[in-house]
Structure 1
């Protein structure tokens, strides 16, 4: 057939000016050709520069009045080339022409085909239409042709044809035409045959943009004998809706694609053609067009008939076929007998994190926002490089690659240094820590994996840590199928590099305490079930009592440290008993009497700073779901920015998950909070009333009561009248009886 490229070959690029050369590129892109086609043709021009076509091609983005194949045809005509008919009618869809000397159908090895003995043109066409189209679909078909000659060889080329009738209308007319299909479709040249478009159109034209549904693609090749084509099509189990003999050198397989849009159609067709090519079916790239013409069964073409060979063969749809192809085109190992290995078992991979993860395996850390997941991964990177413990687990020592996808380079480097400092480690093995900073340059995981493998090859990393994975996720994280393919990239890295892959992912929304640890990660369950080790971080509730306990502990520790600065061991032991050391009020009293006032002041500043830090501290529980090891007892720890610290005191053992406080405790906590808020408000009001009634720091209770809007007896009860009163009020004010017999309050120092 004479394609647009064949005509372009007859045009010498050196005879074109710059704009004409650009127009050729625009026309080729508009008609679905590749930049390689333009580049290959341009190379015969002395003005050719490598890479220039590619650069220009990227800027051809289409327009309301695109440059089409007609421009190239006109260039050819201007240079003396002649064509029969109006070739412009084909500028969106290359023709399928008559091939002289076509081989007989039954030649060659493979599966021969046979022309039907009782050839029924109407039945052939109706069957084709009923198989591919719905009654309301507009169908494009061509029966008229024009002639062209190339090197003395005659060719019949299709015109634009018709597209204004539906499949239902055509079927009805064909069934009532008495066998005269020409009365319905128009008479065709018996030397040329006829064509039909296999995808439905909108009735307004026959270009790609007029296709309404991307149901089918054309597989057609004349690179091997017909019988072999037939055998390959059946052996590949192509999901063929209709298989048509073209009357020439090829079979036309109308293959089910069922793509939701044009982009997906191109991807599926590219995959289809790649598989066909690998099996000897070389297919013209122009066949990718969804508006492509194929041979219409039920007509005569030269010495042969165009007829339906078979229908609905192979797999039922494209997805089933693709799964089948991938299942037979794998590099999987053969099954092996256990008996052959029973007495000589292969060695297990050595632990990377003792009791948690082996070398060469995968681990996921899951947790909510602010759990410090990235800090945990940095801590692990450092622990592996230095060969020290991580969260209490022994770690192997080796080289680590940390892939930073989120932080800018400076922030990432500073964070590593901050964590090193907080872990109280000397950086003795910085040469074992590599950081790959990719913020702003990350690509989907299927593209990142080969780039990572190329850079990491021969560096003997024992772990590759990727933080965070949401930057490189491809597809819908709730789709098990898409996430399985995504996680397969981690397997690829593990296999190719012999390294462990460690990464983190976020929790789903909502409370997590009632879920199993492996069900807390957001998205598909694949995230939790794919890795060999899953460590899940869940936040714990820090009650007021627990926070007060931690503050008291810090107060005692700081006071003890200050006292030890100035007292030798024996003197310290005489000054401070074992009970004193865990009683904050006693430690403060002892320090107040034993330390110089300046030292006592500095000690209190240390205590206040420690309390402020404790206010930002969060509590967490790590639960493990392990494939290679028995599950460990849940670990409780604190996150003190920027590191995680194990709860060595066991104070978090009975802590509940945040948001999972039982109802009666929640109600009790709410009541206590309200009472506390009310007390603060009452004290504030009392302060205002006292200030308004005081004179030199003394105020009569009667006057205070009047200003507060309370009775004098109510105020007196706060101070007990010698009996139990309110400690908070008594701490601030001292009650006494004046010479006049009235009750007064005096502000305490």
Structure 2
């Protein structure tokens, strides 16, 4: 079963021992609601050795029947957040890492755990428990700070010894003084401990009122522990990472306990820094127990024995002196950015620019976005581009460099994709001489998010020497919110990876935003964040042209004339040369009359049938304008083209040059548009004044037309003192007149002289 969030992974952040009974039950109800099993709940609950009862989870599981207000996975998610989990919606590889960022990929790797040599630890030559514990207290605590420790234990059903809450009522100074007076008997100070279980101590100071996170007074240290490898390798990796370790203690078992300086100002910063610390450790082979995140966590107390082994201090003050120093170092170690270069080094020997893939538009190894609405035939246009690259011919009038191309098909089934390629080849009339240079990767139903697809694509394409990779369409692999700039920056970075690793151009298409696009700039038409338009090296944008009836009739006329001219050339070329004038060749009606005289019945019928097909084809055409924004080349003049299934053809004769995009008015210079805008605004203001005046006349009409004085009084009630002459001016301006027979009475001007 797939889950949007792995709740089992989130439960690693939640310690059942710190939950109330109802919170524990809520976890079970949430797991059942989200489709997990009772075994999942039981396995997690075992961590609370003090309250865990075998079989209890399974018994309660059957009683969870659901309710109108169910407990969902959101409950577990919130618990995990409260304990330090930070959601990862996307990798942040394109900006500086923050404290709350998760480290991704192979970054921040300092050591290779498979090759690092182990570093042995050595038990103290002279065993002095008082010295061990005193050193620990002096290193970690101020004399006035309360210390939490545990010597009492209890045994669960599995026979494992577990700590009680212990004590926290004495300060480090008090404990150190008593230790000096105990003559080596630390049990007289802390209480006797069970030598089979050992003892524990809390590494952050407490307020003396309890031992929970809320009782921590200084978020100074975090525990780093890994018990999945040899002690010697743990020791070596921690030192190689130069962790700012205040004290390293051997637990008397399978692990070292490193008390690491995090020096957080508050609990929120503590969680973020511990997340960062743990992620660095994990990247370098230390698989940290997430339960150790809590600032009130217990660690092993040095100076005691545990099942025949001593718990002792291995070393103090290891690695970097402070958290800030270590953080700066770990960031610097992984800085693989190139150093700045002087322009003087290259001025007389400039590096070669990448060769062009599409002459005047796109270089090899660069990125191109094709944007347009759904009916623009973008997929067909990309297939045409694939063919143009493979055959080394022109695409929309631009010469293409010949080479191998990979077409990543995410939308069509394999048969349909292959059929399209063949149909486009035939419609273009291009001989299929180099179809072996086109590879099609059919991924319909198998596509994955782009950050997962990119490495798979790179691996398959690494040895194919493609000069272009075309991905169609990208909405199938889009990750994140397309309106989010940072998420889309991460998404488009995957295209950079492909281009860099393969040395190939990456070409992809995206849809327009909703609404009319004619009045927008080409860079503003693509849907979502502006990153889409600004990230690629070349933007090719398609906008539909608003065809007029006259133009369509002209195109139908041309198509009909071409049909008849072709039939004359085939069946009666002599008649064409001698009897058909140049003017006739441009008239569909004239050519039809010639056909009646010069073609046999069968040929005439065949011509008429083709005329009908040609007419329907013209009616099915759509017209498009290609505009571009280029980073490496000068801006090109807009290219007009016809799309007649399944190919696009450039309008070489200029039929479309004066046609405007859909939703756009007549083409005007900027000054003219500004003037018209001001005029429109003034007209709107005049219209609103006229409506206001008309309302005034209606409101003042108490059974008979109002006078100028009536209107003056009415306007004064609205806060406007209007002079007599102004009222009289409005009368004429807004289509009224003063009745000469009745003094100042105002009536609508109907064209008659009153």
TM-score (norm 2): 0.57
C-alpha spacing 1:579/1:336, structure 2 compared with 1 (3 Å): same
Could you tell me which runs of 5 or more consecutive residues in structure 1 were left unpaired when the two chains were aligned. 1-27, 34-58, 79-91, 94-98, 126-140, 163-169, 180-186, 208-214, 235-242, 305-312, 665-749
Q: CA shift at 1:66, angstroms?
A: 2.0
**Per-residue deviation, residues 261-314 of structure 1 (Å, max 9, x unmatched):** xxxx99x977642413567xx7553235766852599x999899xxxxxxxx86
1:216-235 deviation digits (Å, cap 9, x = unpaired): 9955249559997996349x
Take 2:640 and 2:611, find their aligned partners in 1: how far apart are those partners?
A: 25
Question: Of 289, 313, 336, which aligns to 1:286?
Answer: 289
Q: Which residue pairs with 2:478 in the alignment?
A: 473
Aligned match for 1:510, one of 502, 509, 515: 515
Displacement of 1:315 after TM fit? Answer: 7.2
> What's the counterpart of residue 146 of structure 1?
153
CA shift for structure 1 position 600: 2.9
Distance 1:608 1:250, change over 3 A: same
Write the distance in 2 (CA, Å) between the matches of 1:217 and 1:378.
60
Matched, 1:66 2:73: no
Distance of 1:639 and 1:477 partners within structure 2: 29
Q: Aligned-pair distance for 1:526?
A: 1.6
Aligned to 1:464: 469
2:628 to 624, 628, 635: 624
Describe how 1:502-651 pairs up with structure 2 within 5 A.
502-569=507-574, 571-651=575-655
Matched ranges for 1:247-646 at <5 A: 250-252=258-260, 272-276=277-281, 283=286, 285-287=288-290, 294-295=297-298, 329-569=334-574, 571-646=575-650
Instruction: Report Cα offsets for 1:33-61 as digits up to 9, x if no partner.
Output: 9xxxxxxxxxxxxxxxxxxxxxxxxx985
User: For the residues of structure 2 that align with 1:226 and 1:555, how far apart are their CA atoms?
Assistant: 81
Cα distance, 1:269–1:532 mapped onto 2, change above 3 Å: farther
Answer whether contact 1:444 1:472 (CA < 8 A) is retained. Answer: yes
> Is the contact between residue 378 and residue 419 of structure 1 (CA under 8 Å) also seen in structure 2?
yes
* Secondary structure in structure 2 of the residue aligned to 1:232: coil
In 2, are the aligned partners of 1:374 and 1:467 still within 8 Å (CA)? Answer: yes
CA distance in structure 1 between the aligned counterparts of 2:481 and 2:9, rounded to whole angstroms: 32
Q: Which whole-Å CA distance do the structure 2 matches of 1:521 and 1:488 have between them?
A: 18
In the TM superposition, what are the counterparts of 1:135-214 in structure 2 within 5 Å?
145-146=152-153, 157-159=162-164, 192=199, 195=202
The whole-number CA distance in structure 2 between the counterparts of 1:259 and 1:612 is 73
2:517 is paired with a residue whose SS is coil
Change (3 A) 1:117 1:60: closer
2:204 and 2:133 map into 1 onto residues whose CA distance is: 24
* Aligned counterparts of 2:571 and 2:265: Cα–Cα separation in 1: 85
Q: Deviations over 1:217-264 (max 9, x none)?
A: 955249559997996349xxxxxxxx999999532556989999xxxx
Contact (CA 8 Å) 2:362, 2:538: kept in 1 or not? yes
Classify 1:663/1:628 alpha carbon distance in 2 versus 1 (closer, same or farther; 3 Å).
Answer: closer
- Quick one: distance in 2 between partners of 1:368 and 1:525? 17
Once residues 283 and 439 of structure 1 are traced to their aligned partners in structure 2, the CA distance between those partners, rounded to angstroms, is 40
Change (3 A) 1:227 1:558: closer
| Equivalent position SS for 1:639 | strand
8 Å Cα contact 2:367-2:495 kept in structure 1: yes
Once the two structures are superposed, the pairs formed by residues 672-683 of structure 1 within 5 Å of their partners are none
What are the superposed Cα offsets for residues 727-749 of structure 1, whole Å, 9 maximum, x if unpaired? xxxxxxxxxxxxxxxxxxxxxxx
| Distance verdict in 2 for CA 1:328–1:521, change over 3 Å | farther
Name the structure 1 match of 2:144: 120
Pairwise CA RMSD: 5.3
> Does the 8 A contact of 1:142 with 1:196 survive in 2?
no
Quick one: distance in 1 between partners of 2:128 and 2:286?
Answer: 20
How many angstroms apart in 2 are the aligned matches of 1:144 and 1:371? 76
Number of the residue aligned with 2:659 = 655
Measure how far apart 1:432 and its partner are. 0.9
Query: 1:443 and 1:190, CA in 2 relative to 1: closer, same or farther beyond 3 A?
Result: farther
CA contact (8 A) 1:534 1:624 kept: yes
Please list, as runs of the form range in 1=range in 2, the aligned pairs for 1:15-34 lying within 5 A after superposition. Answer: 32=12
Do 2:622 and 2:644's aligned partners in 1 also have CA atoms closer than 8 Å?
yes
The Cα of 1:155 is off from its aligned counterpart by 11
State how far apart, in whole Å, the 2-side matches of 1:388 and 1:105 are: 81
* 8 A Cα contact 1:618 1:639, kept in partner: yes
DSSP-derived class of the 2:398 partner? coil
2 CA distance for matches of 1:230 and 1:488? 29
Matched residues in 2 for 1:252 and 1:476: separation? 38
